[in-house]
Amino acid sequence: MNDLRVKIITYGCQMNEYDSHLVASELAARGAHFVETVEEANFVLVNTCAVRGKPVEKVKSLLGQLRKEKQRRGGHFVIGMMGCLASLEEGQAIARDFGVDVLLGAGAIHKIGEALEKLEPFWDVGFYPELDEVVPPPPAGALSAYVTLIRGCDHHCTYCVVPRTRGPEVSRHPELVLREVEQLVAAGVVEITLLGQNVNSYGKDDPSYPDFADLIRQVAALGVRRLRFVTSHPMNFSDRIIEAIAETPAVGQYVHLPVQSGSDRILRRMAREYRRDYYLERVARLREALPGLVLTTDIIVGFPGETEEDFQQTLDLYDEVGFDAAYMFAYSARPGTPSYERFEDLPREVKIERLERLIEKQKHWSLERNRAWIGREVEVLVRGPAKEEHWALGHDQSNHPVLLPVAEVAGPGLYRARIEEASPHMLFGKVLEPALAGSVNP
Ligand code: SAM
Ligand code: SF4
């Protein structure tokens, strides 16, 4: 296709952001231009999320608009859909309804070039090992970047579509991961986030690969200033990994460890494999090794069969751990998942009411934990202007969102700052030193 003007719209998690970048790089290599709006584009590609009902509704409404645009242009407009929803039959039915021309499942996204060479509809929902061999170039001018470590998931949480959308766990070859990290560091990236549904399982599928603990050390040795990883599964969070984090200054003392529920009965129904005591023991071990630990989590409320007592156990666990922050979700019954097939959904009002109570709990703890940072010095990686007027937004080493006065910031880069105020969602700082040498992005 000549004169390819592309707009990519991304929903969902960081893995999708990485995948959109990978696809954009493949398209750029074929001469595509990227445009800001749908009106300027002749190819719009939607990278989709299928984890909850809400993102699916968003995709449907966007595809409705795109279908109208296609009709308005007499068909001279290509609609593409990729990612998790595209991998599901549910998504393929939606794609048929809305006249999607190019559909690539989460395991086939590298086929984008091939798809556009054919002047006919192209659908592929396979899982191809070649996808993991693609090493996308560093994002232009970025200070922060993602690197996929492992695709897919071998767990079978009963509420989750991911094992079906992203297939079984496949670790990327360590040489490719290290090469990608090396290129990013050379391009000036100061923060790298390693990605996977379960980064802790890295290497389990190939005995010749390092395990996740060793991989952390190898990646850090390449000179990356900040190293993060998401997501960790409590079951695979071994002492070896905790030791590697404690030994590696670039990782800092931040861990995201989804708990999902504080009730053993519900954890069992979710097939989460661990129980409440095991989770608390992992947290105690982490805090022993990392005394300044900032710990965040994911929680689902209103899972089928969750009683008020089960929910109370989640609230109690929250108090026992005192999480710094949490992503909280009302259970969403997703067609095709075991919990959808087997269990009856709770009334929406019950789920919403519990979610509101949990959010109150989270606000209380986040404020408490954030206030402890007042007066401390941190290093903030500023990304750009914040939504709030007169402030620039960045993140510190422990992944707290930090606002700095825009007047004190020369542009994106690293700044030393002192925290002066805290809210449940944010730290507010004052710049002590201008950007550290070499980190400002002109
Ligand atoms: N692999 C990661 C893990 O196990 O924690 C994250 C997977 S998922 C993309 C991110 C979060 O979405 C989960 O931790 C869970 O809290 C939430 N989630 C997944 N399925 C859900 C559902 N059906 N309803 C509500 N929340 C869900
Ligand atoms: Fe989904 Fe569970 Fe796998 Fe996470 S570990 S992706 S929640 S099945």
Q: What is the pLDDT of residues 75-88, one digit of tens each?
A: 889 999 999 999 99
Q: Is the CB of 164 under 6 A from ligand 2?
A: no
The total of other beta-carbon atoms located within 10 Å of residue 101's CB is 19
Q: Under DSSP, is residue 206 helix (H, G, I), strand (E, B) or coil?
A: coil
Whether ligand 1 lies within 6 angstroms of the CB of 158 is answered as no
Average pLDDT value over all residues in the chain: 95
Pocket test for ligand 2, best of 157, 158, 165, 273 (most atoms within 8 A of CB): 157
Question: What per-residue confidence (pLDDT) applies to 435?
Answer: 66
Q: How confident is the model at residue 117 (pLDDT cuts 50, 70, 90)?
A: confident
Q: Is the C-beta atom of 199 inside 6 A of ligand 2?
A: no
User: Is residue 271 classed exposed, middle or buried when 0-12, 13-18 and 19+ CB atoms within 10 A define those classes?
Assistant: middle
Question: Nearest-5° angle of CA 74, CA 78, CA 83?
Answer: 150
Determine the distance separating the centroid of ligand 1 and the alpha carbon of 332, expressed in angstroms. 10
Cα-trace Rg, the chain: 22
Q: Model confidence at 30, in pLDDT bands (50, 70, 90)?
A: very high
Which of the listed residues 17, 87, 160 should we mutate to test ligand 1's pocket, taking the one with most ligand atoms within 8 A of CB? 160
Query: What's the rounded mean pLDDT across residues 412-426?
Result: 96
The 10s digit of each residue's pLDDT in 423-441 is: 999 999 999 987 664 455 4
How far is residue 302's CA from residue 320's CA, in Å, rounded to a whole number?
20
Q: In the sheet that 325-330 helps form, which strands lie side by side, from edge to edge?
A: 254-256, 294-301, 325-330
Q: Give the model confidence (pLDDT) of 38-65 as tens digits.
A: 999 999 999 999 999 999 999 999 999 9
Cβ(301) – ligand 1 distance below 6 Å = no
Strands 391-395 and 401-405, sheet pairing: antiparallel
Q: Across the strands, what pairs with 429? A: 419
Residue 414 has pLDDT above 80, yes or no: yes
Q: C-alpha angle 94/95/100, rounded to 5°?
A: 155
Per-residue model confidence as pLDDT tens digits over 340-376 = 999 999 999 999 999 999 999 999 999 999 999 999 9
> Which atom of ligand 2 lies closest to the CA of 272?
2
258 in contact with ligand 1, CB cutoff 6 A: yes
Residue 272 C-alpha to ligand 2 middle, in angstroms?
9
The verdict on the CB of residue 174 being under 6 Å from ligand 1 is no
User: Which residue's CA is minimally distant from atom 11 of ligand 1?
Assistant: 298
Assign 442 a pLDDT band (cuts: 50, 70, 90).
very low
Give, for ligand 2, the residue of 15, 151, 153 to mutate: max count of ligand atoms closer than 8 Å to Cβ: 153
CA separation (Å) from 68 to 48, 93, 145, 240, 336? 19, 18, 35, 54, 30
pLDDT value for 433: 84
Could you tell me which of 91, 79, 89, 21 has the C-alpha nearest to residue 49? 91
Residue whose entry in the numeric block shows the structure tokens 């990356």 = 224
Closest ligand 2 atom to 166 CA: 6
pLDDT of res. 436: 63
Ordered alpha helix ranges (H), 73-161: 84-87, 89-97, 112-117
In degrees, rounded to 5, the angle at the alpha carbon of residue 92 between the alpha carbons of residues 87 and 96 is 155
More confident residue, 388 or 440: 388
* Phi and psi based region of residue 347 (left: phi greater than 0; alpha: psi -120 to 50; beta: remaining): beta
Quote the ligand 2 centre to 231 CA distance (angstroms): 9
The CA angle 130-136-142, to the nearest 5 degrees, is 155
Report CA-CA distances (Å) from 348 to 8, 59, 307, 333. 33, 22, 14, 11
Distance CA 384, CA 438 (A): 17
Q: Could you report the per-residue pLDDT of 140-177, keeping only the tens digit for each?
A: 889 999 999 999 999 999 999 999 999 999 999 999 99
Distance 162 CA to ligand 2 centre (A): 6
Query: Is the distance from the beta carbon of residue 197 to the nearest atom of ligand 1 less than 6 Å?
Result: yes
Q: Which long-range contacts (CB under 8 A, 24 or more apart) does 167-170 make?
A: 167/106, 167/107, 167/127, 169/197, 169/198, 169/201, 169/204, 169/205, 170/129, 170/132, 170/205
CA of 55 to the centre of ligand 2 (A): 17
Residue 92, pLDDT above cutoff 60? yes
Q: Which helix (H) or strand (E) holds 99?
A: none
**47 pocket-lining for ligand 1 (C-beta < 6 Å):** no
What whole-number percentage of the chain has pLDDT above 90? 94
Q: Is the pLDDT of residue 120 over 90?
A: no
Q: Does any ligand 2 atom lie closer than 6 A to the CB of residue 173?
A: no
- Whether 123 contacts 91, CB under 8 Å: no
Distance 335 CA to ligand 2 centre (A): 16
Percent of the chain whose predicted confidence (pLDDT) is above 70? 98
Q: Tell me, using a 6 A CB cutoff, whether residue 398 lines ligand 2.
A: no
Please say whether the dihedral angle defined by the alpha carbons of residues 11, 190, 369 and 434, taken in this order, is positive or negative.
negative
Q: What are phi and psi of 41, to 5 degrees?
A: -85, 155
231 CB under 6 A from ligand 1?
yes
